[in-house]
Chains A and B, each alone.
Chain A
Amino acid sequence: MTGGMLNSVAELQAFVNDHERTHVVGRRSKTALHQVDPDTMLADMSGMRGITEYQPQEYTLTVRAGTRVSEIQAELRKEGQYLPFDPLLPNHASIGGTVACNLSGSRRHRYGGIRDFILGAQVVDGLGRAFRVGGKVVKNAAGFDLSKFLVGSMGKYAIMTDLTFKVFPDAPDYQGLRLQYETLDDALNAVFHCNRSAHELDVLDFAPCDRGWSLLAGLAGFQDTLPQRAKQFVATMRAESALLDATEAEDNASLRDPLGGLTDDFLAKVVISPRQIPSFDARVHEMQRRYSAGGNIAWLATHDIDALKKILEAEHLPGMVLRGAIDRPLIGKNIESPLAARVKRVLDPHNKLL
């Protein structure tokens, strides 16, 4: 398996045209996704870096696909703004890889995931054609929205070379809270209560801990309102759920990192709904795990990927392995679709993009 570092759209077009099989890589932060056969050429996008257009007053940002996420975040921070979908692995991943794999972090709970913030993209498809999808303004309803389609598409339909996002002002201050529950059911009931309450939580994750289950909640806002908001939130949870105790988080960054402590060989993302969690968790109770975004994403780490595969199949849940040596990173429920197949036929009829 060999490849080339690409620095421009024209180079990428030539690369796709010149090779039978192309697999796109960014900064290779998700090792499980790059196990391709030796005949496949790697299109390395890490050279296509930099913010090409940032208009804070428009809430829009256009960036080249190989740019490291943390570099983007640093630029946005200067203007008090952020990517509300909270890209995962910011210090390692490229923004193109983050979108292609649809990896949002815990803060996506407040305003939404990548699909809710992507506005458009410049792409090269399997026929080597360079074109734009979507738009560059915060609102646009013209044409088919292929930019959303590309979220999670793993570079198999078209390779994104630059991306345009909607960005938001970030809150000036933050308050993280750890709420302790005895059982998963108690923690889930607390989540259900949060979902129906008017408390605007930035993060709502839960994970097993020594004393049962921790509910990790984040509040974002003005410094002078946060203590009172946190107090009201804890009081509500004390009244409405089986809360054992609540403490302020010592470190907001680690509270917001869904992958902290998930150290076993294989790391996977599973798309789940909160009601599916009790049955699923009973099967994965020996694995490292955290349920994110109000119990709508499960992050799991395990040494036994075969066991996880079987569990996902039994539970009809789709999963994607991000770390660990595995031939096929998509596990569990089959996500193949006749609609996706037709898009493939148009954008990559010769099946060049793998």
Chain B
Amino acid sequence: MNRSFFEALQKIYPDNRLLTRDVELLPYESDALTAFQTKPGAVALPVSEDEIIDTVRLCHRMKVPFVARGSGTSLSGGSLPIADGLMIGLNRLNHIKKIDPEQRIAVVEPGVVNLHITEAVRQYGLYYAPDPSSQSVCTIGGNIAFNSGGAHCLKYGMTSNHVLGMKVVLADGTVTQFGSESIEGVGIGPDLVGLFVGSEGLFGIALEITLRLMPAPQLYRTVMAAYDNLGRAGDTVSMVVASGLLPGAMEIMDRLAIKAAEASVGAGYPLDAEALLIVELEGEALQVEAEFAELRGVIEESGAFEIHEANSEDERARIWKGRKGAFSAVGRLSPDYIVQDGVVPRSRLGEALVKIGEFKAKYQLDVANVFHAGDGNLHPLILYNGREPGALEKAEALAGEILAMCVDLGGSITGEHGIGMEKREYLPTMFSPVELEIMQDLRRAIDPEEIANRGKMFPGGEAPALQMHGMHPLERQGVISRE
């Protein structure tokens, strides 16, 4: 790292918040996509907005690339460090600055953990809706960068739909604010919040975020249905949609995922099922009960060989624990795995699953399927052993075929993980050369030195060699999972 840059950093940070020793940098070498590992030049740990602003301005002036990082749970390598660049760790900016239950808003710093918001507002009968499966550790800053989703996106949207206002520092050091405390957000003029959210850290750093809160549902009704083939579970999703119901979540797991989750959590899943569908309704009690009666009728007609309704909050929690833990559970069956999060139109889920089966046979690798069926968001889990020569490359090739299939079927290469490092080379499959050029021009207009999260999103950037082996430590503990 450039000596004069480092000396300037020392004027902003005391020694204990400017990490440079190998042992201190080690935890920052990768995020939840452990396939990529790079050592940053240094890690700065700001505790105030001013320190972030000073740091970004310094980076801009001295043309040093930086990566902002929350808890490092990105599944697309979005918070991978830049070799010899600066990592800005935002976890210490973890204050909820304001809760206004009557207006249903919270104002938070970027390092606040997603779930901590719900925990802080639960006493008011409210919650923060986006629920990525790593919500117990992932931060709002990271959720903003990657427009994180979760199991309940169909009805209430992704992170972007829950951000009303922001104060940000752009990559050239410009500090600006947009949006408001109104539920309309920006409301008049272009929706800058919508542009910033999901920009993968390429525009700058969010300093303060105003979030929309939701009233906690009065009642949840959750049902599991077991099928003897995946296609039938997929068809049931279409039947539910055709009935005019709008469930909060619809999830499908295949045999491998069911078995692994059951072994790990004991969620009460039927082990003889080829596919398990979980449907959840939530809202005002009277309305939910009426909808549930209708849903029950649809499921009974769907050819499920076993139907089970959650009869208590504990039972509901167990069903979801199994579902949310499915990834790490499957992961334990294999030394390594890759997860994709491509999207297909919901009505083409069956077709997509058949094709994934064909890819599986072609590459002779196991693939487990867990997906947000309500919005067509696949999460195929490709199992391989990184110690076998060529195994990772084979898994990567299979993953690539799945992404290409998603685009061919009219979907997207990512529903919620973002492009990051992992899918950079696939971006041109979704966007034309003109569209890519415009996005790159936009990035350069905002960040002329291309210092913010350099090398991410766009194809052709510098990339470290893939060196995947083993699960992320948090993944091994079941704290985070790759969905």
Contact = CB atoms under 8 A, between A and B. Distances in A.
B287 interface: yes
B446 A275 contact: no
Nearest to A228: B286
Given A58-B346, A296-B182, A225 B161 contact: no
A274 interface: yes
Contact of B411 (A112, A137, A273, A335): A137
Given A57-B346, A145-B194, A273 B181 contact: yes
Contact of B195 (A140, A330, A343): A343
Interface in A248-286: 269, 271-275
Nearest to B126: A196
Interface stretch (B80-88, B428-436, B460-468): B428-436
Contact of A131 (B155, B283, B286, B438): B438
A142 interface: yes
B445 A346 contact: yes
Nearest to A292: B184
B345 interface: yes
A186 interface: no
A20 B93 CA distance: 48
B419 interface: yes
A239 to B, nearest CB: 15
Interface string A198-232: 11100000000000000000000110110011001
B215 A195 contact: yes
Contact of B347 (A55, A145, A330, A338): A55
A49 B123 CA distance: 49
B161 A221 contact: no
Nearest to A192: B102
Given A57-B346, A152-B189, A129 B160 contact: no
A115 B287 contact: no
B241 interface: yes
Interface stretch (B61-69, B172-180, B327-335): B172-180
Contact of A151 (B158, B194, B216): B194
Nearest to B374: A138
Contacts of B246: 168-169
Nearest to A191: B102
Contacts, number: 278
Interface in B158-193: 158, 160-161, 168, 170, 174, 176, 178, 180-193
Contacts of A346: 438, 441-442, 445
A21 to B, nearest CB: 19
B146 interface: yes
A346 to B, nearest CB: 5
Interface of B: 100-105, 124-126, 146-147, 149, 153-158, 160-161, 168, 170, 174, 176, 178, 180-199, 203, 215-218, 238, 241-242, 244-246, 283-287, 289-291, 343-347, 372, 375-377, 410-419, 423, 427, 430-432, 434-435, 438-439, 441-443, 445-446, 457
A87 interface: no
B427 A340 contact: no
B68 to A, nearest CB: 17
B126 A152 contact: no
B442 A342 contact: yes
Interface string A131-170: 1110111111111111111111110110000000000110
Contact of B242 (A57, A157, A172, A228): A57
A5 to B, nearest CB: 26
Contact of A340 (B192, B290, B344, B435): B192
Q: Which of A228, A229, A274 has the most CB of B within 10 A?
A: A274
Contact of A137 (B147, B199, B242, B343): B343
Contact of A200 (B183, B188, B283, B435): B283
A271 B245 contact: no
Nearest to B104: A195
A324 interface: no
Contact of A318 (B183, B187, B198, B427): B187
Interface in A280-332: 293-294, 296-297, 318-320, 330
A97 interface: no
B160 A145 contact: yes
A337 interface: yes
24 contacts: A57-B347, A58-B345, A58-B346, A59-B241, A104-B184, A129-B438, A132-B435, A136-B410, A137-B411, A138-B153, A139-B412, A141-B418, A145-B194, A149-B195, A169-B246, A197-B215, A198-B125, A198-B285, A222-B290, A225-B289, A271-B188, A275-B100, A293-B183, A335-B188
Interface of A: 55-60, 80, 102, 104, 111-113, 115-116, 125, 129, 131-133, 135-154, 156-157, 168-169, 172, 192, 195-200, 221-222, 224-225, 228-229, 232, 269, 271-275, 293-294, 296-297, 318-320, 330, 335, 337-340, 342-343, 345-347
B189 A318 contact: yes
A138 B218 contact: no
Contacts of B345: 55, 58, 60, 137
Given A57-B238, A168-B246, A142 B446 contact: no
B275 to A, nearest CB: 19
Given A80-B244, A140-B414, A196-B124, A340 B189 contact: yes
A222 B243 CA distance: 13
A144 B184 contact: no
B184 A297 contact: yes
Given A153-B190, A229-B284, A232-B286, 5 more contacts: A132-B431, A145-B197, A197-B215, A222-B290, A293-B184
Contact of A195 (B103, B178, B427): B103
A60 B435 CA distance: 22
B416 A141 contact: yes
Contacts of B182: 271-273, 296-297
Contacts of B242: 56-57
Contacts of A157: 190
A112 B435 contact: no
B241 A57 contact: yes
A195 B101 contact: yes
